[in-house]
Amino acid sequence: MRPWRSCEHVHVTMDQTDAIRTVLDHCRTVAVVGLSPKPHRDSYQVARYMQAHGWRIVPVNPNASGEILGEQVYPSLSEAAKHERIELVNCFRNSADIPPIVDEAIAIGAKAVWMQLGVEHAAAADKARAAGLAVVQNRCLKIDHAARTRA
C-alpha cells in the first residue's frame, strides 16, 4: 500500500481512510476490548461517548465483572459473541496484545477492528484485512466520529 499522507510516525493510507468511513457508516455494535469501569480512563470515556451517540457498547474485560455503562461485561470476544452480534472490535490494549484479539474478531465474524491511539500491529492488521475486515490503527473512534459529526 502506498502512504497517502504521513504525520510524523502515523501513516494514513487510502485503505485506512476507507475503513474509517465504513466503520462510521455501517457499524453500530462495538465490543470494547479493555473497557475500564473507571470513568477517568480513555476507554470508558470513548465508550460512553459512542453509547450517547446511539452505538451499542459490549464491554470485554477479563478482569471486570457485572456491568460497565449499564452493559454486561464479558471476559472475551468469543464469550460476548455468544450473546451479542459484534460488528466492530475497538481495542484498548497494548499493541503486543492485538494478534489474539484479531484472531477472535475474525472467528466471531466481526466486520472491523479499530486500534485506538498508540495501538498498531502490522501483521495482525494484514491478517484482519486478508480475512475481509476493515482495519483502523492508531486512531481514536471518538475523535473521528466527532469530526465527522461536525463536518
**Could you list the mean pLDDT of each consecutive 10-residue stretch along the chain, which spans 151 residues?**
34 72 95 97 97 97 96 97 97 97 98 97 96 96 92 66
Q: What integer pLDDT is reported at residue 149 of this predicted model?
A: 83
Which bin fits 70, alpha (ψ -120 to 50), beta or left (φ > 0)? left
pTM beyond 0.75, yes or no? yes
Instruction: Judge: domain 3-150, CATH 3.30.230.10.
Output: no
Place of cell 460488528: 87
Q: What integer pLDDT is reported at residue 6 of this predicted model?
A: 32
Alpha-carbon span 136 to 113, nearest angstrom: 6
Alpha-carbon span 88 to 113, nearest angstrom: 6
No. of helices (H) and no. of strands (E), the chain: 6, 9
**Helix-, strand-, coil-residue percentages of the chain, each rounded to 5:** 40, 25, 35
What residue ranges do the domains of the chain occupy?
A: 3-150
Alpha-carbon span 14 to 4, nearest angstrom: 6
